Amino acid sequence: MRAFFAGLSIVTGLAMAMVLMPAKADPAPDIGNWQSVLDQARGQTVYFHAWGGEPRINDYIAWAGAQVQERYGVNVVQVKLSDTADAVAKVLSEKTAGVDDGGAVDMIWLNGENFAAMKRNDLLFGPWAEQTPNFAYVDVEGKPTVINDFTVPTMGLEAPWGMAQVSFYYDTARLDSVPKSAQALLEWLVKHPGRFTYPQPPNYMGSTFLKQILAELVTDPKVLQQPANETDAKKVLAPLWGYLEDLQPLLWRNGQAYPQNGASLRTMMADNQIDIAFSFSSGEVSSAIEAMELPDTVRSYVFDKGTLGNTNFVAIPYNASAKAGAVVLADFLMSPEAQLRKQDPQYWGADTVLAMDKLPEDMQKAFPYLDLGIASLSPSERGTVLPEPHPSWMELVETEWQKRYGVVQ
What is the mean predicted confidence (pLDDT) over 227-240? Answer: 92
pLDDT digits (tens, 9 = 90+) for 379-404: 889 999 999 999 999 999 999 999 99
Pairing mode, strands 45-51 and 75-81? parallel
Mean pLDDT estimate for the chain: 92
Band of pLDDT at residue 6, cut at 50, 70 and 90? very low
Query: What b/e readout covers 294-331, taking b as 16+ CB neighbours within 10 angstroms?
Result: beeebbbbbbeebbbbbbbbbbbbbbbbbbbbbbbbbb
Band of pLDDT at residue 27, cut at 50, 70 and 90? confident
The pLDDT score that the predictor gives to residue 379 is: 82
The pLDDT score that the predictor gives to residue 24 is: 56
**Length of the chain, in residues:** 409
Angle, to 10 degrees, between the axis of helix 112-120 and the axis of helix 85-96? 10
**6: Cβ contacts below 8 Å, ≥ 6 apart:** none
Band of pLDDT at residue 406, cut at 50, 70 and 90? confident
Which numeric CATH code is attached to 14-163+312-377?
Answer: 3.40.190.10
- H helix runs in 192-281, sequence order: 204-217, 230-247, 262-270
Band of pLDDT at residue 25, cut at 50, 70 and 90? low
What is the mean predicted confidence (pLDDT) over 306-322? Answer: 97
More confident residue, 182 or 204: 182
What is the mean predicted confidence (pLDDT) over 185-200? Answer: 98
Q: What's the CATH number of domain 167-309+383-405, 3.40.50.1970, 3.90.1150.10, 3.40.190.10, 3.90.50.10?
A: 3.40.190.10
The pLDDT score that the predictor gives to residue 392 is: 94
- What is the distance of C-alpha 365 from the center of its chain? 27
The pLDDT score that the predictor gives to residue 231 is: 83
The answer to whether 140 and 129 have CB atoms below 8 angstroms apart is: no
Band of pLDDT at residue 229, cut at 50, 70 and 90? confident
The pLDDT score that the predictor gives to residue 265 is: 96
3-state secondary structure of 331: helix
Is 60 exceeded by the pLDDT of residue 16? no
The pLDDT score that the predictor gives to residue 230 is: 80
What percent of the chain stands above pLDDT 90? 88
Could you give the CA distance from residue 213 to residue 211 in angstroms, rounded to a whole number? 5
Which residues on neighbouring strands pair with residue 47, listed in sequence order? 77
120-125, Cβ contacts within 8 angstroms, sequence gap of 24 or more = 121/92, 121/95, 122/95, 122/318, 123/88, 123/91, 123/92, 123/95, 123/317, 123/318, 124/157, 124/158, 124/315, 124/316, 124/317, 124/318, 125/28, 125/157, 125/315, 125/316, 125/317, 125/318, 125/320, 125/323
Band of pLDDT at residue 22, cut at 50, 70 and 90? very low
Output the pTM of the full model: 0.87
Domain coordinates in residue numbering, the chain: 14-163+312-377, 167-309+383-405
Is 80 exceeded by the pLDDT of residue 132? yes
pLDDT digits (tens, 9 = 90+) for 349-361: 999 999 999 999 9
Is 60 exceeded by the pLDDT of residue 81? yes
What percent of the chain stands above pLDDT 70? 93
pLDDT digits (tens, 9 = 90+) for 87-113: 999 999 999 999 999 999 999 999 999
Is 60 exceeded by the pLDDT of residue 408? no
Angle, to 10 degrees, between the axis of helix 204-217 and the axis of helix 230-247? 100
What is the mean predicted confidence (pLDDT) over 150-165? Answer: 96
Is 50 exceeded by the pLDDT of residue 125? yes
Is 60 exceeded by the pLDDT of residue 80? yes
The answer to whether 354 and 137 have CB atoms below 8 angstroms apart is: yes
Is 70 exceeded by the pLDDT of residue 307? yes
